[in-house]
Protein backbone atom coordinates (compact mmCIF):
# COMPACT_ATOMS: atom_id res chain seq x y z
CA UNK A 1 0.00 0.00 0.00
CA UNK A 2 1.30 3.41 -0.92
CA UNK A 3 1.90 6.05 1.75
CA UNK A 4 -0.81 8.64 1.55
CA UNK A 5 -2.96 10.65 3.94
CA UNK A 6 -5.32 8.43 5.90
CA UNK A 7 -8.33 10.59 5.01
CA UNK A 8 -7.86 10.02 1.27
CA UNK A 9 -10.96 8.50 -0.36
CA UNK A 10 -11.27 6.86 -3.74
CA UNK A 11 -14.71 6.11 -5.20
CA UNK A 12 -14.39 3.50 -7.95
CA UNK A 13 -17.42 3.10 -10.18
CA UNK A 14 -18.26 -0.28 -11.74
CA UNK A 15 -21.14 -1.50 -13.86
CA UNK A 16 -22.06 -3.05 -17.17
CA UNK A 17 -22.28 -0.85 -20.25
CA UNK A 18 -25.29 1.45 -20.22
CA UNK A 19 -25.81 1.23 -16.46
CA UNK A 20 -24.96 4.89 -15.99
CA UNK A 21 -21.38 4.99 -14.72
CA UNK A 22 -20.63 8.04 -16.86
CA UNK A 23 -23.66 9.89 -15.51
CA UNK A 24 -22.58 9.13 -11.94
CA UNK A 25 -18.98 10.13 -12.59
CA UNK A 26 -20.01 13.31 -14.44
CA UNK A 27 -22.08 14.36 -11.42
CA UNK A 28 -18.98 14.19 -9.22
CA UNK A 29 -16.53 15.70 -11.71
CA UNK A 30 -18.96 18.60 -12.17
CA UNK A 31 -18.32 19.20 -8.45
CA UNK A 32 -14.61 19.46 -9.34
CA UNK A 33 -13.48 16.07 -8.03
CA UNK A 34 -10.58 14.75 -10.12
CA UNK A 35 -11.02 11.47 -11.96
CA UNK A 36 -9.01 8.71 -13.51
CA UNK A 37 -10.58 6.79 -16.39
CA UNK A 38 -9.83 3.09 -16.85
CA UNK A 39 -11.22 3.08 -20.40
CA UNK A 40 -9.02 6.05 -21.26
CA UNK A 41 -5.93 3.87 -20.89
CA UNK A 42 -7.27 1.54 -23.59
CA UNK A 43 -8.45 4.37 -25.84
CA UNK A 44 -5.06 6.08 -25.62
CA UNK A 45 -3.33 2.81 -26.55
CA UNK A 46 -5.75 2.45 -29.50
CA UNK A 47 -4.87 5.97 -30.65
CA UNK A 48 -1.17 5.13 -30.42
CA UNK A 49 -1.82 2.00 -32.53
CA UNK A 50 -3.76 4.05 -35.10
CA UNK A 51 -7.05 2.20 -34.57
CA UNK A 52 -10.50 3.68 -35.03
CA UNK A 53 -12.70 3.79 -31.92
CA UNK A 54 -15.46 1.31 -32.76
CA UNK A 55 -17.19 -1.13 -30.42
CA UNK A 56 -15.61 -4.12 -32.18
CA UNK A 57 -12.12 -2.59 -32.36
CA UNK A 58 -12.29 -1.57 -28.72
CA UNK A 59 -13.40 -5.01 -27.49
CA UNK A 60 -10.80 -6.93 -29.48
CA UNK A 61 -8.03 -4.45 -28.68
CA UNK A 62 -8.90 -4.36 -24.94
CA UNK A 63 -8.85 -8.16 -24.68
CA UNK A 64 -5.67 -8.53 -26.78
CA UNK A 65 -3.95 -5.78 -24.81
CA UNK A 66 -4.67 -7.50 -21.52
CA UNK A 67 -3.61 -10.88 -22.93
CA UNK A 68 -0.36 -9.42 -24.29
CA UNK A 69 0.55 -6.95 -21.52
CA UNK A 70 -1.08 -8.72 -18.57
CA UNK A 71 -4.38 -8.40 -16.77
CA UNK A 72 -2.87 -5.64 -14.64
CA UNK A 73 -1.87 -3.42 -17.60
CA UNK A 74 -4.67 -0.88 -17.18
CA UNK A 75 -4.84 -0.85 -13.39
CA UNK A 76 -1.09 -0.26 -13.02
CA UNK A 77 -1.41 2.90 -15.10
CA UNK A 78 -4.48 3.97 -13.12
CA UNK A 79 -2.65 3.48 -9.81
CA UNK A 80 0.16 5.70 -11.11
CA UNK A 81 -2.41 8.36 -12.03
CA UNK A 82 -4.10 8.10 -8.60
CA UNK A 83 -0.77 8.28 -6.77
CA UNK A 84 0.17 11.36 -8.81
CA UNK A 85 -3.11 13.01 -7.77
CA UNK A 86 -2.51 12.08 -4.12
CA UNK A 87 1.03 13.48 -4.26
CA UNK A 88 -0.46 16.69 -5.71
CA UNK A 89 -2.64 16.98 -2.59
CA UNK A 90 -5.94 15.50 -3.81
CA UNK A 91 -7.84 13.71 -1.07
CA UNK A 92 -11.00 12.74 -2.98
CA UNK A 93 -10.59 10.90 -6.29
CA UNK A 94 -13.11 9.34 -8.65
CA UNK A 95 -12.09 6.18 -10.54
CA UNK A 96 -14.27 5.73 -13.61
CA UNK A 97 -14.82 2.24 -14.95
CA UNK A 98 -13.07 -0.35 -12.80
CA UNK A 99 -13.47 -3.39 -15.04
CA UNK A 100 -11.96 -6.66 -13.92
CA UNK A 101 -11.63 -8.84 -10.86
CA UNK A 102 -7.84 -8.53 -11.17
CA UNK A 103 -8.14 -4.73 -11.19
CA UNK A 104 -10.38 -4.84 -8.14
CA UNK A 105 -7.92 -6.98 -6.17
CA UNK A 106 -4.94 -4.80 -7.10
CA UNK A 107 -6.82 -1.60 -6.23
CA UNK A 108 -7.95 -3.08 -2.91
CA UNK A 109 -4.36 -4.09 -2.07
CA UNK A 110 -3.11 -0.63 -3.00
CA UNK A 111 -5.74 1.43 -1.18
CA UNK A 112 -7.46 -0.85 1.34
CA UNK A 113 -10.28 0.77 3.24
CA UNK A 114 -9.70 4.06 1.42
CA UNK A 115 -11.19 2.46 -1.71
CA UNK A 116 -14.99 2.40 -1.94
CA UNK A 117 -16.48 0.50 -4.87
CA UNK A 118 -19.81 1.77 -6.17
CA UNK A 119 -21.79 -0.39 -8.60
CA UNK A 120 -24.21 1.39 -10.91
CA UNK A 121 -26.89 -1.08 -11.96
CA UNK A 122 -29.92 -1.01 -14.23
CA UNK A 123 -32.09 -3.70 -15.91
CA UNK A 124 -30.70 -5.12 -19.13
CA UNK A 125 -33.50 -3.73 -21.32
CA UNK A 126 -32.90 -0.22 -19.98
CA UNK A 127 -29.11 -0.45 -20.35
CA UNK A 128 -29.44 -1.69 -23.93
CA UNK A 129 -31.90 1.08 -24.79
CA UNK A 130 -29.45 3.67 -23.46
CA UNK A 131 -26.62 2.12 -25.46
CA UNK A 132 -28.66 2.33 -28.65
CA UNK A 133 -29.29 6.06 -28.08
CA UNK A 134 -25.85 7.23 -26.97
CA UNK A 135 -24.16 9.70 -29.33
CA UNK A 136 -20.70 8.08 -29.23
CA UNK A 137 -20.37 4.43 -30.29
CA UNK A 138 -24.09 3.49 -30.16
CA UNK A 139 -24.75 -0.26 -30.01
CA UNK A 140 -27.50 -2.41 -31.48
CA UNK A 141 -29.21 -4.85 -29.13
CA UNK A 142 -27.09 -7.70 -30.55
CA UNK A 143 -23.89 -5.68 -30.05
CA UNK A 144 -24.96 -4.80 -26.50
CA UNK A 145 -25.59 -8.48 -25.72
CA UNK A 146 -22.22 -9.39 -27.18
CA UNK A 147 -20.53 -6.70 -25.10
CA UNK A 148 -22.27 -7.90 -21.91
CA UNK A 149 -21.08 -11.46 -22.51
CA UNK A 150 -17.54 -10.37 -23.39
CA UNK A 151 -17.27 -8.18 -20.31
CA UNK A 152 -18.60 -10.89 -18.01
CA UNK A 153 -16.71 -13.85 -19.51
CA UNK A 154 -13.49 -12.31 -20.79
CA UNK A 155 -12.98 -9.45 -18.36
CA UNK A 156 -14.54 -11.00 -15.25
CA UNK A 157 -16.53 -7.79 -14.80
CA UNK A 158 -19.18 -9.44 -12.64
CA UNK A 159 -16.88 -9.86 -9.63
CA UNK A 160 -16.32 -6.16 -8.87
CA UNK A 161 -20.03 -5.49 -9.38
CA UNK A 162 -21.05 -8.32 -7.06
CA UNK A 163 -18.63 -7.32 -4.29
CA UNK A 164 -19.25 -3.56 -4.48
CA UNK A 165 -19.61 -1.61 -1.26
CA UNK A 166 -22.59 0.37 -2.57
CA UNK A 167 -25.23 -0.07 -5.28
CA UNK A 168 -26.86 2.76 -7.19
CA UNK A 169 -30.06 1.75 -8.96
CA UNK A 170 -30.14 3.89 -12.08
CA UNK A 171 -33.72 3.18 -13.05
CA UNK A 172 -35.34 6.61 -13.00
CA UNK A 173 -34.20 10.15 -13.73
CA UNK A 174 -30.88 11.84 -12.96
CA UNK A 175 -32.24 13.41 -9.77
CA UNK A 176 -32.91 9.90 -8.45
CA UNK A 177 -29.35 8.83 -9.33
CA UNK A 178 -27.83 12.01 -7.88
CA UNK A 179 -29.67 11.54 -4.57
CA UNK A 180 -28.17 8.07 -4.24
CA UNK A 181 -24.70 9.42 -5.02
CA UNK A 182 -25.17 12.14 -2.39
CA UNK A 183 -26.13 9.46 0.14
CA UNK A 184 -22.99 7.42 -0.62
CA UNK A 185 -20.65 10.41 -0.54
CA UNK A 186 -22.12 11.50 2.80
CA UNK A 187 -21.73 8.01 4.24
CA UNK A 188 -18.07 7.69 3.20
CA UNK A 189 -17.26 11.37 3.94
CA UNK A 190 -16.26 11.99 0.34
Determine how many CB atoms are found less than 10 A away from the CB of residue 106: 18
Tens of pLDDT, residue by residue over 164-186, are: 999 999 999 999 999 999 999 99
pLDDT at 1: 46
pTM of the model: 0.89
Question: Of 5-14, 23-32, 135-144, where does the model show the most confidence?
Answer: 23-32
Contacts of 14 (CB under 8 A, 6+ apart): 21, 97, 98, 99, 104, 117, 118, 119, 120, 157, 160, 161, 164
Domain boundaries, the chain: 9-187
The CATH homologous superfamily for domain 9-187 is P-loop containing nucleotide triphosphate hydrolases (3.40.50.300)
Tens of pLDDT, residue by residue over 138-165, are: 999 999 999 999 899 988 899 999 999 9
CB 36 within 8 A of CB 78: yes
Amino acid sequence: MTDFPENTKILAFVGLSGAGKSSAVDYLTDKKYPKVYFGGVVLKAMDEAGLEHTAENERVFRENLRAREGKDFVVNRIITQINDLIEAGQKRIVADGLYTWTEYKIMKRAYGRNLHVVAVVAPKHLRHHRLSKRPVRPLTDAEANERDWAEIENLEKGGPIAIADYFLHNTHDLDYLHKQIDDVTAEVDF
